[in-house]
């Protein structure tokens, strides 16, 4: 059975990159009827924050990436936390120390820094080769760091995405494993956990490629098995620069706040560096599980494309039922129009439905319907269609007002039928243009009869009369 894991450090929010790594691990496990593990790597007590951990857990749950294992808390699983596993790491640190495969190094921070600077000047790799390995100083002045007694040599492994990878491990020096027996560092604890949790596929960002030789050296020292590695390409913004906050290095939950659907995000993440056999673009989680394969992950960087995300979100919005659509719009409208919303929820519901085919993300809804809540000010000239005149615009508006006054039902097709009838006598542009502008104050909007249906008879006529008045006021 295949076991994969996502091992985020709670030193930041769950951003797109980590969410995508989680997704790929989830898909690979599920595709092979395996298990997906969540492990919070919180050994860095200073930088780890509960706030970040909560964000990571909520983000994964929101995306539907449920982990399959962990300490049981009444039917659901807590994540594994490295801070709760210190005894385990201590045991294996001690083992390496006892076997002479690790040692306490007592060089001070300043000494190490000096060594680095010297190496930098000499154009050498900046590593620490410890002189304390065999004989620690008599009166150490610094607390001991546990370092790996690096035997050096070439390490080669087969990365499932990048192929054969080779490293000269003598370039790594005697790298640190822990700041004493109680403070293991990432490269050490990750190896112990991946082994004890029986993780057999490590799918992670390419930024970790340089850690892999260190981890393999530790595995070899402990004489434990080596998992499969798959280093996935990094995500870049469309101008090939590093992904910035603006482009998506923010919490995945900010996307929720902006009104993106989790199914759109999942679909979007899947396409960041992976493609299906037939280059299909639309996938739900189930379909992704079926289709996913490590072979079709690309080597080159993945490009973050916000238009694509908007496109997918728009696509999934169209799939929602009317009720679901409304339940997503509701909280935005409630917060933008707190008083009006409570007075007339039904108006807001009908107004938001007008934009169902256009909206890209739900946070837009307040702005999109604002002209329905309140007619924006617009210039009288806007009422005049380009092939028409002020007099004609006025005539049409007055005519439509008279006809509409006689009509009682604004909810169906009647307003449209009436406008079309008048347009036949005159001209489509000449009729529809001023009516649309008078009703919306804008040059593009949903069809006028749909606006009229939401506004109702009284308000629609009031807006058109206001249009006539505006025209009367121009010189």
Catalytic residues: 245
C-beta closer to ligand GLU: residue 9 or 352: 9
Q: Which is nearer to ligand GLU, 12 or 136 (CB)?
A: 12
| Shortest CB 178 distance to ligand GLU, Å | 15
Q: Verify binding: residue 231, ligand GLU, rule CB under 6 A.
A: no
Q: C-alpha angle with apex 359: 353 to 360, nearest 5 degrees?
A: 150
Indicate the residue among 208 and 436 with the shorter CB distance to ligand GLU.
208
The Cα–Cα gap between 169 and 157 comes to 13
**Cα separation of 110 and 290, whole Å?**
54
Cβ pair 383, 375 in contact under 8 A: no
Q: Which helix (H) or strand (E) holds 164?
A: strand 163-168
Q: Distance between CA atoms of 379 and 30, rounded to whole angstroms?
A: 59
Q: Which stretch binds ligand GLU (CB under 6 A): 3-11, 44-52, 162-170, 370-378?
A: 3-11
Identity of the residue, 173 or 227, whose beta carbon is nearer to ligand GLU in the bound complex: 227
Residues 171-190 interacting with ligand GLU (rule: CB under 6 A): 190
Nearer to ligand GLU, 185 or 399 (CB): 185
Part in contact with ligand GLU (CB under 6 A); list of ranges 1-9, 89-97, 342-350, 364-372: 1-9
Least gap, CB of 192 to ligand GLU (angstroms):
12
| Only segment of 7-15, 68-76, 396-404, 457-465 that touches ligand GLU (CB under 6 A) | 7-15
Count, residues near ligand GLU per rule CB under 6 A: 7
Nearer to ligand GLU, 9 or 150 (CB): 9
Choosing from 3, 4, 9, 105, the residue that interacts with ligand GLU (CB under 6 A) is 9
Smallest distance, ligand GLU to C-beta of residue 439, A: 53
Q: 39 near 193, Cβ under 8 Å?
A: yes
Q: For residues 189 and 276, which CB has a smaller minimum distance to ligand GLU in the complex? A: 189
Give the residue from 194, 183, 184 showing the smallest Cα distance to 216: 194
> Exposed e or buried b for every residue in 196-228, given b needs 16+ CB within 10 A?
ebebbbbbbebebeeebbbbbbbbebbeeebbb
> Quick one: which of 204, 214, 350, 436 contacts ligand GLU (CB under 6 A)?
204
Instruction: Report, in Å, the least distance between residue 126 CB and ligand GLU.
Output: 22
- Reference 401, options 370, 439, 454, 442; nearest CA is 439
Q: How would DSSP label each residue in 274-336? A: B--TT------HHHHHHH--GGGB-SSPEE--HHHHHHHHHHHHHTS-HHHHHHHHHHHHHHH
- Beta-carbon neighbour count of residue 80 at 10 Å? 21
Q: Smallest distance from the beta carbon of 373 to ligand GLU, in angstroms?
A: 45
Residue 244 Cβ, how far from ligand GLU at the closest point, in Å?
A: 19
Q: Does 41 bind ligand GLU (CB under 6 A)?
A: yes
CB of 9 to ligand GLU, least distance (A): 4
CB contact at 8 A, 228 and 202: yes
Shortest distance in whole angstroms from residue 168 CB to ligand GLU: 22
Q: What does the angle CA 99 – CA 101 – CA 107 come to, to the nearest 5 degrees? A: 120
Query: Which span sits near ligand GLU by CB under 6 A: 2-10, 165-173, 259-267, 309-317?
Result: 2-10
CA-based nearest residue to 362, from 452, 264, 231, 217:
264
CA distance 212 to 208: 7
Q: Which is closer to ligand GLU, CB of 201 or CB of 355?
A: 201
Q: How many CA atoms lie within 13 A of 366 on its CB side?
A: 14
The strand pairing partners of 166, in sequence order, are 156
Q: Which of 4, 8, 128, 193 binds ligand GLU (CB under 6 A)?
A: 8
Binding window for ligand GLU (CB under 6 A); candidates: 6-14, 62-70, 137-145, 356-364: 6-14
Q: Taking CB under 6 A as the rule, does residue 7 contact ligand GLU?
A: yes
Toward ligand GLU, which CB reaches closer, 58 or 411? Answer: 58
Query: In whole angstroms, how far apart are CA 461 and each of 121, 433, 473?
Result: 81, 16, 19
**From the CB of 19, what's the least distance to ligand GLU, in Å?**
12
Beta-bridge mates of residue 163: 159
Of 101, 208, 214, 470, the residue at the interface with ligand GLU (CB under 6 A) is: 208
Q: Residue 179, class by beta-carbon neighbours within 10 Å (0-12 exposed, 13-18 middle, 19+ buried)? A: middle
The CA-based dihedral angle spanning residues 25, 30, 31, 32, taken in that order and rounded to the nearest 10 degrees? 100
**Contact positions vs ligand GLU (CB under 6 A):** 7-9, 41, 190, 204, 208
């Amino acid at each position: 059975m295949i076991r994969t894991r996502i091992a985020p450090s709670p030193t930041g929010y769950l951003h797109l990159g980590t969410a995508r790594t989680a997704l790929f691990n989830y898909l690979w496990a599920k595709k092979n009827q395996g298990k997906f593990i969540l492990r919070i790597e919180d050994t860095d007590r200073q930088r780890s924050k509960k706030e970040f951990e909560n964000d990571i857990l909520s983000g994964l749950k929101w995306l539907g990436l449920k982990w399959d294992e962990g300490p049981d808390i009444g039917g659901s699983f807590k994540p594994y936390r490295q801070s709760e596993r210190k005894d385990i790491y201590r045991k294996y640190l001690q083992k390496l120390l006892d076997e002479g495969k690790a040692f306490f190094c007592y060089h001070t921070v300043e000494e190490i820094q000096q060594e680095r600077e010297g190496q930098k000047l000499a154009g050498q790799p900046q590593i620490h080769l410890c002189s304390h390995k065999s004989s620690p100083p008599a009166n150490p002045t610094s607390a001991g760091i546990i370092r790996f007694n690096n035997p050096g040599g070439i390490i080669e492994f087969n990365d499932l995405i990048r192929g054969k990878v080779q490293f000269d491990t003598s370039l790594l020096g005697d790298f640190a494993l822990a700041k004493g027996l109680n403070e293991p560092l990432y490269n050490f604890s990750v190896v112990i956990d991946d082994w004890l949790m029986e993780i057999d596929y490590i799918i992670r960002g390419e930024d970790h490629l340089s850690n892999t030789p260190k981890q393999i050296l530790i595995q070899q020292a402990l004489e434990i098995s080596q998992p499969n590695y798959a280093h996935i390409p990094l995500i870049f913004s469309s101008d090939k620069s590093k992904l910035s906050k603006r482009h998506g290095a923010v919490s995945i939950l900010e996307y929720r706040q902006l009104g993106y659907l989790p199914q759109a995000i999942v679909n979007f993440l899947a396409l960041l560096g992976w493609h299906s056999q037939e280059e299909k673009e639309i996938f739900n989680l189930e379909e992704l599980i079926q289709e996913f394969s490590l072979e079709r992950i690309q080597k080159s960087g993945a490009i973050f494309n916000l238009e694509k995300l908007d496109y997918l979100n728009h696509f999934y919005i169209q799939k929602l039922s009317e009720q679901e659509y409304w339940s997503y719009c509701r909280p935005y409208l409630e917060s933008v129009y707190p008083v009006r919303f409570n007075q007339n929820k039904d108006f807001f519901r009908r107004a938001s439905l007008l934009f169902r085919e256009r909206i890209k993300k739900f946070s837009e809804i307040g702005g999109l319907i604002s002209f329905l809540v309140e007619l924006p000010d617009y210039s009288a000239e806007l009422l005049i269609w380009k092939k028409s005149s002020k007099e004609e615009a006025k005539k049409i508006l007055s005519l439509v007002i008279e006809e509409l006054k006689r009509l009682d039902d604004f909810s169906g097709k009647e307003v449209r039928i009436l406008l079309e009838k008048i347009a036949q006598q005159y001209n489509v542009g000449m009729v529809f243009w001023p009516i649309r502008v008078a009703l919306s104050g804008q040059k593009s909007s949903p069809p006028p009869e749909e606006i009229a249906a939401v506004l109702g008879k009284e308000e629609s006529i009031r807006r058109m009369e206001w249009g006539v008045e505006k025209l009367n006021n121009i010189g």
